[in-house]
């Protein structure tokens, strides 16, 4: 049986701690990673940006965070964005240092950078267990060369270029350590047609990878039933393990810390799960049960996205507006929420 992977993306934790953020378990201040591990979350996902303003999530800070993760004995998933800031379905901006490169040089730059990062992590004894070649790459990476969106979405040339870029990243990973598991991450966890369209192209172009990563947020991606049906079909079609590599749910939509929160309305919620501390816990119990029931045991885990991004200061040093603080697993003051206990109990049952 494939080892169960249950964890969190805590890429903002470095910045939160430097801004003075503190975390509490039943009123007692504690190390955030320890609280996570005590509640069944034995894996960490870290994003890496090439040259971000402010430095957080660059190679130096990733090395720092990787040491802490591995000191706790946790599984490490490294997510390459191949950008100086956010890469997602709306943004896949190539790093500034790669602007103006021809396609051959761009592929080599991506290969060299991937090898450099993983080589540095390996040298300090913190080799990732799993690596993502891009983040939410449903519409491609390093636009425009690797774009399969908009007017370019049906172009064989664009799909060829995207898959060549991804293959270069995979080759660099395997050169550093052939045992590293390769994840391909798309965002539409509840959309079977979009998921199939993308993965069929990767099959067509012979991209060799191990794990399918899905994002699933109900306000963007549909119902739990849609996720369940999509996973069942993808498992049947492609035979690969699946990880829900991004998920979250609100514990409040009242008393919000600032305007512009991502989830702040009743109609964004999943039916049956109110935006309360208890509703968030129930959602996590049911979602984990759904993952456990996936065909052939092929859903092998999840990562809760930024459970520790608490609002410890008004302005972030790299310009991030915290629009996520009601989607965390800690309240605004850093106190552990009931969903953390629900995760611990549900994961314990999953492992049985």
Residues annotated as part of the active site: 136, 246
Question: What residues does 78 pair with on adjacent strands?
Answer: 46, 131
What is the token pair recorded at 8? 């969190």
Q: How many CB atoms lie within 10 A of CB 229?
A: 14
Query: What is the rounded distance in angstroms from the CA atom of residue 199 to the CA atom of residue 188?
Result: 12
The DSSP symbol for 331 reads -
Query: What is the rounded distance in angstroms from the CA atom of residue 222 to the CA atom of residue 49?
Result: 29
Please state at what angle helix 277-292 crosses helix 224-238, rounded to 10 degrees.
Answer: 20
Alpha helices in the chain (DSSP H): 13-18, 32-38, 59-71, 103-123, 156-176, 192-204, 218-221, 224-238, 277-292, 338-351
- Cβ–Cβ under 8 Å, residues 208 and 221: no
């Amino acid at each position: 049986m494939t080892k169960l992977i249950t964890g969190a993306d805590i890429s903002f934790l470095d910045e939160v701690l430097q801004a003075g953020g503190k975390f509490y378990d039943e009123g007692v201040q504690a190390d955030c990673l320890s609280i996570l591990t005590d509640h069944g979350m034995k894996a960490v996902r870290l994003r890496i940006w090439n040259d971000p303003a402010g430095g957080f999530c660059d190679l130096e800070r990733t090395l720092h965070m990787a040491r802490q993760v591995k000191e706790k004995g946790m599984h490490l998933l490294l997510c390459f964005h191949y950008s100086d800031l956010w890469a997602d379905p709306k943004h896949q901006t190539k790093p500034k240092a790669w602007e103006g490169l021809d396609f051959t040089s761009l592929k080599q730059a991506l290969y060299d950078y991937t090898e450099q990062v993983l080589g540095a992590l390996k040298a300090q004894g913190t080799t990732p267990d799993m690596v993502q070649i891009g983040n939410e790459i449903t519409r491609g990476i390093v636009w425009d060369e690797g774009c399969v969106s908009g007017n370019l979405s049906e172009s064989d040339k664009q799909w060829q270029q995207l898959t060549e870029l991804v293959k270069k990243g995979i080759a660099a990973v395997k050169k550093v350590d052939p045992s590293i598991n390769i994840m391909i991450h798309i965002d539409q966890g509840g959309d079977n047609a979009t998921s199939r369209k993308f993965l069929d192209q990767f099959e067509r172009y012979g991209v060799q990878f191990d794990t399918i990563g899905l994002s699933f947020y109900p306000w963007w991606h549909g119902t739990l039933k849609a996720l369940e049906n999509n996973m069942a079909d993808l498992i049947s079609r492609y035979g690969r393990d699946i990880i829900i590599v991004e998920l979250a749910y609100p514990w409040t939509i009242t008393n919000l810390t600032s305007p512009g929160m991502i989830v702040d309305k009743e109609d964004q919620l999943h039916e049956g799960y109110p935006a309360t501390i208890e509703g968030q816990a129930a959602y996590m119990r049911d979602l984990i049960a759904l993952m456990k029931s996936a065909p052939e045991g092929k859903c092998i885990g999840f990562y809760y996205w930024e459970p520790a991004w608490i609002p410890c200061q008004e302005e972030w040093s790299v310009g991030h507006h915290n629009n996520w603080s009601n989607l965390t697993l800690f309240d605004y003051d850093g106190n552990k929420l009931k969903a953390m206990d629900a995760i611990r109990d549900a994961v314990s049952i999953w492992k049985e």
